[in-house]
Every structure is written in structure tokens, then in C-alpha cells.
């Protein structure tokens, strides 16, 4: 199993380590998922996401290439900015969802999910052969941490030499933490203000300790999952897969009107099912794979579900037949043979 | 790992007390609650239900996962810990105390002897870890 540069730090902190996409990762620390979740909503939490993949795309045609290979348009990015993006296959589905940062006019850093680094590389390299650009796997040369929560700017401002009020969402800046060079990005996966910090692997424990000493609570993948779900963000392998069409989700905005790989297959498909949010009206937790019923018949299934640590409501994403997916529709989720009442809602599941 | 000397254990991590007036109290071990993480939801059996050893009779859900709880011995559900409905975290805080799950009226107390003693359970849990 692969270890991030922060493995020893996690073990020393008493984390429960689990296997995730071939990596040994902290699922939670002794504080527990709920406390970690609340820390990010109310103050500040710190995540190790070094398992994610970094892929550099550079060369004369890099912009043109990524405009074709991905659904969003990296050509619209100002230098130093990042965007949420998706990598389509040729069947109207997705190979992965991505974050794409434009570092130079024709140089990008693509961040991919840990489980999908290989398929993403294969796809990008395959398509890049027609373009004047290179695809370089830099996954092992970067450590990545996420500092998330309403208190993150204040905390980070104490340890970096840049004015963070000037750093807009999705913008990046090069700085240093305790002498360690850090590429700082105002991005995250929690629905809160926050930052992601790219640094050299050997510097990661130093940066982590500085942020921890300033008061950021270490948070594991468990809280990362409940936070993203509560915020209404999809997770590849759950909401998004190689057979799910992003045009049948609330993330249609990612798909820009331009030529892209697999475009005809994607636009040619109808939406028999749509991705919707659910809120349970009674006790119980809707888990991935549980069936959803509308007017007594099965119409789909849950893709992710949890008890919101913040609202204590039982929330979920589900793929349901389009007529059952209207906001406000009364449906049911089958939990261990019992049908539990639920309502179709529009994420995010908090702060509305 | 807190393993109590006065209890017997199932390999599926439930604990059971010695019968007291025919009643056996059942919960999950400290090891089990630690493995689960924050418990957020508990489904308890109906009082009066007859259960056989090994039957799935309750469900304990953590943030991440749902786990079946099996009856360690046969009997009739005499009482359930209703307090867990609103405060499931008691299972984390006090797995051998306030976090108990249900009480069974047992007919054959000798069934308890098929469960692991504390030393055997300690070894079993250590192997799993």
C-alpha cells in the first residue's frame, strides 16, 4: 500500500488508517468524523490529500489540447487560476472529474482522483499524440494538503507572507510556510472558504505541523466525504462514473459549448435518470446502492448518503428516473426492507 | 483495548453478561465501537421478539457504515436501550455501560459457554487488527 509523505504524522496523531485507492489514508483521528466535520464548518480543519494525482500538461498546443480532451474550457482561465473540470470517455460518461490550474499560457497542472490517475494519464497521453504538448505525471513530486473552514484565511495569514484578502476563489499564489515553498490555491471540497497547499513531499510534515500548531484540526477522509456530500459536491465512483452523463446532473455548467472528445455520444444520450438530492423524512441512513421508490415502483438508487453531522438530517444523492426527480417530489428509500419517506431536494444540504 | 473480565464475547464483537435472573444484557465491545467510529444511528429489536443465536437483531450505523448486530445467545427480547435512539453516541462513550443495546431472557444459559472468554476475545480482536 502506498504511503503519503504524512503517513508517520497521521500514525503519530493516532489516526485510524484505511486503504483507499491503493493508499494508506487516515479515515479519522481520535476526535472522530463528526467533530472533524464540525471543525471545518465552524473553524478550520486540515486534510492530507497527497494521494491525489498531479499531471502537468505543457507545450505549444496545451490549451487547444485540454479544450478538446476536457468538458470545461481551460482556455478561459486567467494565468494562475483553477477550474473544476471533467474528463469524458467516448460513451457519454466520465473517466474522472478534475481540477485544472493554468500555470502559464500553455502549461497546466491537472489534479485527478487517486483511483483514476492511471486511466486519466492513459486518456490524456492517447489524445495528446495529435497535439504539440507533453503529459507528465508529477504525482509523486507533490504533497497536497487542504486547509478548510471559515477560520482558514485568518490562520493561514499568520504563517504566509501574502495578503490572502487579495487571493480570490480559484486563484493561486506562490509563497512559503516556515521556509518551505508552497503553491497556494483558494480551493477545496468542503463548501467552506479554504486553501489547498501544494508542496515538496519532504516539506509536507513541516507545513502540516505549522498549520496544526496554529490550531487547524486534523481531519480524515471520513469528514472529507460528509463535508462534500453536505455541500452537494459529487464524488467520482458514486455520483459520477464511466457511464453517468454529466448532462443529467446539476453539473451541466461544466460542459462548455465547444468541440470535445466524445461530444456526440454525450449530447446524443437522453436522460432517463437524473442525479438528485434526497432528504429523509424519518430516521435511517440511505447508503449507496439502496433502492429508491416512487409511487410504489423502483425508480433508481442512492449513490451516496450519510447523516449530516451539521443538521442531523439524513441526506443523500440518488440517480432516479427523470419524472421522479422534480424538486419536492415525495419518494421512498428502501432501508433493509423498509420503505422510508424522503423528499427530492436541491443540494447543498446546508446553509440555505 | 478495553476488554471486561466479567463478560463473554462473540467473534462478531458483541458482549453478553452472565445471566442475572434469566436476563442477559448485550452490547458491542470497546474494540467494535472503536472500529466503527462515531455511531450516529441505532435500530433496536422489538421487545417480545424471539431470537436465535446468530440472528441479526439490531443495526448500529456509524458515519461511514452500517453494521448488523447478532444475538450472541438465543432468547426473547425483554428490553431495549431506548436512550440510544436519541443518543447513539453512548455506544462510543460507554460501550459496556450506558451503551448497552438489549436484554434477552434466555432459556438455555449453557449457550453462553459457546462464547469467547475475555482472553480468547482479546486474541481474536488482536488478530483482526
Over range B117-129, report the average pLDDT.
92
Establish whether the linkage from the previous residue to A348 is cis, with ω within 30° of 0. Answer: yes
pTM of the model: 0.94
Q: CB distance A33–B63 less than 8 Å?
A: yes
Q: Which sign does the torsion angle of CA A266, A268, A273, A275 carry?
A: positive
Does domain A2-50+142-230 correspond to CATH entry 3.30.1360.120?
Answer: yes
User: CA-CA distance, A122 to A100, in Å (whole number)?
Assistant: 17
Judge contact between A50 and A140, C-beta under 8 A.
no
Q: Residue A256: which of A83, A55, A61 has the closest Cα? A: A83
> Within 13 Å of residue B120, how many CA atoms lie on the same side as its CB?
12
- Interchain contact, A285 vs B40, CB within 8 Å: yes
- Topology of A53-136 in CATH? Alpha-Beta Plaits (3.30.70)
* Whether pLDDT at B12 is above 70: yes
Set of cell numbers at residue A151: 477560520
Question: Is CATH 1.10.3720.10 the classification given to domain B7-124?
Answer: no
Q: Where are the domains of chain A?
A: 2-50+142-230, 53-136
**Residue contact B64–A285, C-beta within 8 A:** no
Closest CA of chain B from A24, distance in Å: 15
Which of A222, A283, A284 lies closest to B63 in CB terms?
A222
- Going from N- to C-terminal start, the domains of chain B cover 7-124
User: What integer pLDDT is reported at residue A351 of this predicted model?
Assistant: 79
A28 touches chain B (CB under 8 A): yes
Tell me which residues of chain A, numbers 235 to 274, contact chain B at a CB-CB cutoff of 8 Å.
Answer: none
Residue B63 has its nearest CB partner, among A283, A307, A336, at A307
Size of interface A-B (CB pairs under 8 A): 39
B-chain CB neighbours of A287 within 8 Å are 66
Alpha-carbon span A40 to A73, nearest angstrom: 31
The predicted pLDDT at position B64 comes to: 85
Query: Measured between CB atoms, which of B37, B43, B66 is closest to A287?
Result: B66
Nearest to A285 among B41, B85, B92 (CB): B41
Does A16 contact chain B (CB < 8 Å)?
Answer: yes
**B13 to chain A, minimum CA–CA distance in Å?**
18
Alpha helices in A231-318 (DSSP H): 263-268
A337 touches chain B (CB under 8 A): no
Asked if B128 is an interface residue toward chain A (Cβ–Cβ < 8 A), one would say: no
Inter-chain touch B63–A226, beta carbons under 8 Å: yes
C-alpha cell at A332: 421512498
Closest CA to A85 of A75, A69, A100: A100
Chain A's closest residue to B37, CA to CA, is A32
Residue A340 has, within 13 A of its CA and on its CB side, a CA count of 21
Tens of pLDDT along chain A (352 residues)? 999 999 999 999 999 999 999 999 999 999 999 999 999 999 999 999 999 999 999 999 999 999 999 999 999 999 999 999 999 999 999 999 999 999 999 999 999 999 999 999 999 999 999 999 999 999 999 999 999 999 999 999 999 999 999 999 999 999 999 999 999 999 999 999 999 999 999 999 999 999 999 999 999 999 999 999 999 999 999 999 999 999 999 999 999 999 999 999 999 989 999 999 999 999 999 999 999 999 999 999 999 999 999 999 999 999 999 999 999 999 999 999 999 999 999 999 987 4
| C-beta separation of A87 from A118 below 8 A | no
- The sheet carrying A180-185 orders its strands as A172-177, A180-185, A194-199, A143-148, A45-48, A217-219
B14: its cell numbers: 458483541
Q: Residue A87 belongs to what H/E stretch?
A: strand A82-88
pLDDT tens by residue, B24-68: 999 999 999 999 999 999 999 999 999 999 999 999 999 988 999
Q: Work out the widest C-alpha separation in chain A, in whole angstroms.
A: 62
DSSP structure string for A327-350: TT-EEEEEETTEEEEEEEE-S--S
CA A245 – CA A242 distance, rounded (Å): 8
A336/B59 touch (CB, cutoff 8 Å), yes or no? yes
B63 touches chain A (CB under 8 A): yes
Q: For the beta carbon of residue A279, count every other beta carbon within 10 angstroms.
A: 18
Pick the more confident residue, B107 or A193.
Answer: A193
Amino acid at each position: 500500500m502506498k504511503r503519503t509523505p504524512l503517513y508517520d504524522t497521521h500514525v503519530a496523531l493516532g489516526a485510524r488508517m484505511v486503504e483507499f485507492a491503493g493508499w494508506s489514508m487516515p479515515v479519522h483521528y481520535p476526535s472522530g468524523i463528526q467533530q472533524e466535520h464540525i471543525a471545518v464548518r465552524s473553524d478550520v480543519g486540515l486534510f492530507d490529500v497527497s494521494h491525489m494525482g498531479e499531471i502537468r500538461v505543457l507545450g505549444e498546443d496545451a490549451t487547444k489540447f485540454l479544450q478538446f480532451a476536457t468538458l470545461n474550457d481551460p482556455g478561459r482561465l486567467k494565468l494562475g487560476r483553477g477550474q473544476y473540470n471533467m474528463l469524458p470517455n467516448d460513451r457519454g460518461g466520465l473517466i474522472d472529474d478534475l481540477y485544472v490550474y493554468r500555470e502559464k499560457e500553455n502549461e497546466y497542472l491537472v489534479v485527478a482522483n487517486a483511483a483514476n490517475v492511471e486511466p486519466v494519464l492513459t486518456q490524456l497521453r492517447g489524445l495528446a499524440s495529435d497535439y504539440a504538448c507533453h503529459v507528465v505525471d508529477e504525482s509523486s513530486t507533490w504533497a497536497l494538503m487542504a486547509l478548510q473552514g471559515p477560520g482558514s484565511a485568518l490562520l493561514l495569514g499568520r504563517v504566509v507572507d501574502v495578503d490572502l484578502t487579495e487571493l480570490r476563489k480559484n486563484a493561486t499564489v506562490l509563497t512559503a510556510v516556515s521556509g518551505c515553498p508552497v503553491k497556494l490555491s483558494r480551493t477545496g471540497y468542503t463548501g467552506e472558504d479554504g486553501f489547498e497547499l501544494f508542496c515538496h513531499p519532504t516539506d509536507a510534515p513541516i507545513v502540516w505541523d505549522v498549520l496544526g500548531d496554529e490550531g487547524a484540526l486534523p481531519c480524515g477522509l471520513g469528514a472529507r466525504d460528509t463535508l462534500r456530500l453536505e455541500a452537494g459536491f459529487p464524488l467520482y465512483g458514486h455520483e459520477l462514473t464511466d457511464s453517468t452523463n454529466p448532462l443529467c446532473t446539476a453539473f451541466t455548467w461544466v460542459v462548455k459549448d465547444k468541440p470535445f472528445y466524445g461530444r456526440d455520444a454525450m449530447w446524443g444520450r437522453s436522460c432517463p435518470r437524473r442525479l438528485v438530492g434526497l432528504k429523509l423524512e424519518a430516521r435511517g441512513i440511505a447508503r449507496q446502492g439502496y433502492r429508491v421508490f416512487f409511487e410504489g415502483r423502483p425508480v433508481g438508487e442512492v449513490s451516496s448518503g450519510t447523516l449530516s453531522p451539521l443538521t442531523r438530517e439524513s441526506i443523500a444523492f440518488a440517480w432516479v428516473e427523470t419524472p421522479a426527480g422534480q424538486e419536492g417530489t415525495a419518494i421512498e428509500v428502501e432501508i433493509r426492507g423498509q420503505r422510508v419517506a424522503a423528499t427530492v431536494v436541491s443540494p447543498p444540504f446546508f446553509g440555505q | 483495548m478495553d476488554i471486561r473480565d466479567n463478560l463473554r464475547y462473540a467473534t462478531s464483537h458483541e458482549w453478553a453478561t452472565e445471566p442475572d435472573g434469566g436476563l442477559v444484557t448485550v452490547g458491542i465491545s470497546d474494540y467494535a465501537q472503536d472500529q466503527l467510529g462515531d455511531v450516529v444511528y441505532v435500530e433496536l429489536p422489538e421487545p417480545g421478539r424471539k431470537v436465535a443465536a446468530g440472528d441479526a437483531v439490531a443495526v448500529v450505523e456509524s458515519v461511514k457504515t452500517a453494521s448488523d448486530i447478532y444475538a450472541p445467545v438465543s432468547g426473547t427480547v425483554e428490553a431495549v436501550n431506548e436512550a440510544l435512539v436519541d443518543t447513539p453516541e453512548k455506544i462510543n462513550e460507554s460501550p459496556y455501560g450506558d451503551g448497552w443495546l438489549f436484554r434477552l431472557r434466555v432459556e438455555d444459559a449453557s449457550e453462553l459457554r459457546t462464547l469467547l472468554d475475555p482472553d480468547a476475545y482479546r486474541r481474536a480482536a488482536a488478530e483482526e487488527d
